[in-house]
């Protein structure tokens, strides 16, 4: 195990904003000042990832963190044949490119001096997900949507039909669950829990608290809003509405949830980290033999999708986060009226807050240290960053994949 590398950076927070696209540089932390500004933190953030000249017939879909380029039918078929991907010959493929943008409380945040993301975040997320997906396969769980990894910022993925559930697994009571519990709530997604739990305590067993992925209509008892909690009975009684092929697949999904959680939890324990909770997503694909199967989708076990605590600190009664929760807490402490960030009735104010306020560079560097540190702990390898990722991606996709003219 390689320890996380967290030297103290020299933060240059007052400099002219750059108008050019931001790129990576190989040395993550070391900034020098010799009478002129050398490299600013903004230079090392890949904020824009939807402008690559990848051949596609469809608009680029740009989410909060990743951008998706759906390949032409001809390019999908050619790559499946040339690369030997285990998918149906007519399966649609996409290039998925990660960024360093950071979202929290449903907003995208930016920093001083044009720093529109967190240095190291994108590479850390991909490296961690790649590590867990590999372990899932080695442990005989299930495949993921990823077919190929041409570059640390890039996945080639197959199109999957998603199960319309965000499956949250909780091993400790904290966060939103604790806040509800402290107000007297004892039933979560149809599951009754004990009366005598303490904040941040380990639960008697792994708790699965699913919510809807997107807005689902005409499901009895399920509000037509995104991300609303549901029960297992809701899923069983309406399995087709959640896009399960059969009712039996619900048990498969639950098995993959628990086994995936256990794989990650056991590995994190080896490096004295506590796997607190996480989100899984699933979908269906068809392999080259015509067999339809349930797979893992999106990212898994990352600081964006999970809570991870430092084990030694937890045993001493203190919670030290190694996840995006660091950033959430910093935001709550940074603004004088934190209710804006947690009150969904104040969304317009929240969007304005994110748009109008550049965060201190030191805050984003702290988040960078967290992401890079936990990635290096998990993978056991130093995180290698690109000097110019866009140029590298373009060259690889042109030369090795024939996707850029």
Q: What is the pLDDT of residues 276-330, one digit of tens each?
A: 999 999 999 999 999 999 999 999 999 999 999 999 999 999 999 999 999 999 9
**Cβ–Cβ under 8 Å, residues 306 and 277:** yes
Cα 92 from Cα 344, distance rounded (Å) = 37
**Do residues 133 and 173 share a domain?**
no
**Do residues 152 and 227 share a domain?**
no
Token pair for 117? 């993301």
Residue 202 sits in a domain whose CATH number is 3.30.470.20
Cα 178 from Cα 315, distance rounded (Å) = 19
Q: What is the pLDDT of residues 25-51, one digit of tens each?
A: 222 333 322 222 224 556 678 899 999
**Do residues 199 and 130 share a domain?**
no
Q: What is the pLDDT of residues 96-112, one digit of tens each?
A: 999 999 999 999 999 99
**Do residues 53 and 153 share a domain?**
yes
Residue 239 burial by CB count (10 A; 0-12/13-18/19+): exposed, middle or buried? middle
Closest alpha carbon to 161 in 292, 350, 26? 292
**What is the number of other CB atoms lying within 10 angstroms of the CB of residue 24?**
23
> Residue 80 belongs to what domain range?
47-160+326-399
**Residues ≥6 apart with Cβ < 8 Å to 220:** 237, 238
Q: What is the DSSP string of 129-152?
A: HHHHHHHHHHTT---BSEEEEEET
Residue 3 pLDDT > 60: no
- 283 domain-assigned: no
Closest alpha carbon to 290 in 75, 81, 91, 141? 91
- 76 domain-assigned: yes
- The pLDDT of residue 15 is 23
Angle, helices 121-138 vs 361-379, to 10°: value is 20
Cα 350 from Cα 357, distance rounded (Å) = 11
Q: What is the pTM of this model?
A: 0.87
**Do residues 56 and 150 share a domain?**
yes
Strands 187-188 and 154-158: unpaired
**Do residues 100 and 198 share a domain?**
no
- 138 domain-assigned: yes
**Do residues 201 and 125 share a domain?**
no
**Do residues 143 and 231 share a domain?**
no
Token pair for 7? 């030297």
**Do residues 117 and 206 share a domain?**
no
- E strand map for 21-87: 61-62, 66-70
Closest alpha carbon to 11 in 91, 107, 119? 119
> Which of these three, 216, 242, 268, is where a domain ends?
242
- The pLDDT of residue 11 is 28
Angle, helices 248-270 vs 121-138, to 10°: value is 110
Confidence category of residue 385, pLDDT binned at 50, 70, 90 = confident
Residue 336 sits in a domain whose CATH number is 3.30.200.20
Q: Which of 37-51, 54-68, 184-198 has the lowest mean pLDDT?
A: 37-51
> Which of these three, 212, 242, 272, is where a domain ends?
242
**Do residues 222 and 189 share a domain?**
yes
Helix (H, G, I), strand (E, B) or coil at 274: strand
- The pLDDT of residue 205 is 94
The answer to whether the Cα torsion of 222, 347, 173, 65 is positive or negative is positive
Token pair for 160? 């999957």
To the nearest whole number, what is the mean pLDDT of the chain?
Answer: 88
- 120 domain-assigned: yes
- 260 domain-assigned: no
Domains held by the chain: number: 2
**Do residues 109 and 179 share a domain?**
no
- The pLDDT of residue 40 is 53
Q: What is the pLDDT of residues 215-258, one digit of tens each?
A: 999 999 999 999 999 999 999 999 999 999 999 999 999 999 99
Cα 210 from Cα 189, distance rounded (Å) = 7
> Which of these three, 242, 265, 300, is where a domain ends?
242
Strands 202-208 and 146-151: unpaired
């Amino acid at each position: 195990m390689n320890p996380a590398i967290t030297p103290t950076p020299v933060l240059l927070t007052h400099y002219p904003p750059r108008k050019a696209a931001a790129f990576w540089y190989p040395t993550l932390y070391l900034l020098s000042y010799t009478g002129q500004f050398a490299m600013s933190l903004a230079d090392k953030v890949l904020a824009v990832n939807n402008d690559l000249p990848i051949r596609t017939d469809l608009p680029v879909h740009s989410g909060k963190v990743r951008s998706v380029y759906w390949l032409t039918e001809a390019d999908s078929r050619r790559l499946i044949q040339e690369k030997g991907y285990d998918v149906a010959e007519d399966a649609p493929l996409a290039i998925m490119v990660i960024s360093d943008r950071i979202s929290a409380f449903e907003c995208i945040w930016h920093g001083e001096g044009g720093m529109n993301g967190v240095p190291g975040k994108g590479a850390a997320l991909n490296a961690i997900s790649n590590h867990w997906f590999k372990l899932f396969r080695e442990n005989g769980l299930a495949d993921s949507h990823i077919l190929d990894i041409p570059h640390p910022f890039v996945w080639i993925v197959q199109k999957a039909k998603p199960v319309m559930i965000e499956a949250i697994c909780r091993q400790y009571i904290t966060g939103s669950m604790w806040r509800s519990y402290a107000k007297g709530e004892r039933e979560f997604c149809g599951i009754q829990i004990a009366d005598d739990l303490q904040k941040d305590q380990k639960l008697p067993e792994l708790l699965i608290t699913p919510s809807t992925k997107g807005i689902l209509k005409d499901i009895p008892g399920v509000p037509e809003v995104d991300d609303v909690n549901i029960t297992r009975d809701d899923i069983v009684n309406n399995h087709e509405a959640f896009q399960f092929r059969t009712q039996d697949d619900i048990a498969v999904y639950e098995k993959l949830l628990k086994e995936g959680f256990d794989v990650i939890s056991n590995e994190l324990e080896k490096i004295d980290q506590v796997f607190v909770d996480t989100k899984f997503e699933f979908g269906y694909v068809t392999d080259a033999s015509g067999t339809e199967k349930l797979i893992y989708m999106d990212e898994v076990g990352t600081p964006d999708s999970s809570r991870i605590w430092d084990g030694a600190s937890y045993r001493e009664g203190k919670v030290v986060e190694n996840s995006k929760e660091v950033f959430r807490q910093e935001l709550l402490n940074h603004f004088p009226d934190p209710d804006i960030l947690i009150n969904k009735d104040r969304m317009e104010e929240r969007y304005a807050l994110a748009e109008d306020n550049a965060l201190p560079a030191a805050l984003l560097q702290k988040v960078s240290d967290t992401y890079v540190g936990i990635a290096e702990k998990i993978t056991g390898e130093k995180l290698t960053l690109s000097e110019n990722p866009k140029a590298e991606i373009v060259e690889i996709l042109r030369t090795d994949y024939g996707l850029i003219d």
